[in-house]
Structure 1
Amino acid sequence: MVALNTHAAELKVGYVQVDKILQEAPQTAESGKKLEKEFSPRSQELDRMAKQIKDLESVLDKEGLTLSESERRNKERDAQNIKIEFQRKQRELREDINLRKNEELGALQDRINKAVQSVSETEGYDLVVYSGVAYASKKIDITDKVLKMLGKK
């Protein structure tokens, strides 16, 4: 039993808060800006379509009684077609954004894992555990070291 305790005392354990890293890593903000730029044109198109729908509905409300039956039906059909197209494009955009967010998150998680491994090897840690622990002393928390490493890349 004494030999086991001596060996345990030599074990160097570290702890890392992945949620903190995901919030504070510079790559997170870069990724957000990249995605915003990538999807901005499609978001703007949806904004234009929403305005077009609102304008058509406004015309129908104001002029609905003065329009001929066929003109009113045509405008209603146009508005309905635009709504359907709007909903389809909105759904596709949401799906594409989620897909890209997951891709970016996967790439960031790979970088985090490499940074954790690098810090662990450089500083001689035998074991590093992630956030899902009941308690971890601040003295074994290597989160800031990992964030520092991510900031250098």
Structure 2
Amino acid sequence: MKQLLILLTLLLAGPSQAKTLKIGYINVDHLVTSSAQFIQANQIVIKEFQPQQDELITLANKINSLVKEFKQDKGTLSKLEIKSEIKKITDLEQQLKGQASSLKKQLALRNTQELSKIQDLINQTIKAIAIEKKFDLILYQEVAYVSKELNITPLIAEQLRLQFE
């Protein structure tokens, strides 16, 4: 970051006949979350993992039913039956936790894969527009202030929208 500031200072403070820099800024977070590609990828991932989520809901409902039955029947059960029912419920709860953890990991991995594809597409689009519009520098990390003239997020968003169609 320090090197970038020194470079910008040197370039901007150079002789008056020096080339003017064309700088742009992009809000990448906005591009990612509002792009049609992101919305579509999100829907695909949700649909892909829906059966597993439904299984978890079914298992949770089964556990709740068993707990409710156990509470109702507890007074009529022998100590051995109580122990057996508690073990059955505990085993199902452990199964639910394991499946939920596995699903969470799979979902995180899949989301990372889809996000990576979208980020690659955005970076390719940025590069193409930078070359086409002859930008010298495009920033997309944290910045304290950006004027509307430098913010080219809408330009990139429009290009992404056109690529989606």
TM-score, structure 1 normalization: 0.93
Is 1:65 matched with 2:65?
Answer: no
2-structure distance, mates of 1:14, 1:3: 20
Q: Structure 1 residue 3: deviation in Å?
A: 4.8
What is the 5 A alignment of 1:33-48?
33-48=43-58
Structure 1 match to 2:111: 101
Report sequence identity in percent.
Answer: 26
Structure 2 match to 1:125: 135
Structure 2 match to 1:144: 154
Structure 1 moving runs of 4+ over 4 Å: none
For residues 79-121 of structure 1, give each alpha carbon's deviation from its aligned partner in whole angstroms, at most 9, with x where no partner exists.
Answer: 1110010000000000111111111111111011011111111
1-structure distance, mates of 2:17, 2:44: 51
For the residue of structure 2 that corresponds to 1:4, the secondary structure is coil
Structure 2 match to 1:84: 94
**Structure 2 unaligned residues grouped into runs of 5+:** 1-9
Give the number of aligned pairs: 152
Is 1:4 matched with 2:35?
Answer: no
For the residue of structure 2 that corresponds to 1:102, the secondary structure is helix
For the residue of structure 2 that corresponds to 1:14, the secondary structure is strand
Alignment root-mean-square deviation, CA: 1.6
Structure 1 match to 2:25: 15
Letter in 1 for 2:15: L
1-structure distance, mates of 2:16, 2:98: 63
2-structure distance, mates of 1:68, 1:5: 95
For residues 131-152 of structure 1, give each alpha carbon's deviation from its aligned partner in whole angstroms, at most 9, with x where no partner exists.
Answer: 4122221111111111111112
TM-score, structure 2 normalization: 0.86
For residues 19-60 of structure 1, give each alpha carbon's deviation from its aligned partner in whole angstroms, at most 9, with x where no partner exists.
Answer: 110121111111110110111000000000100110010011
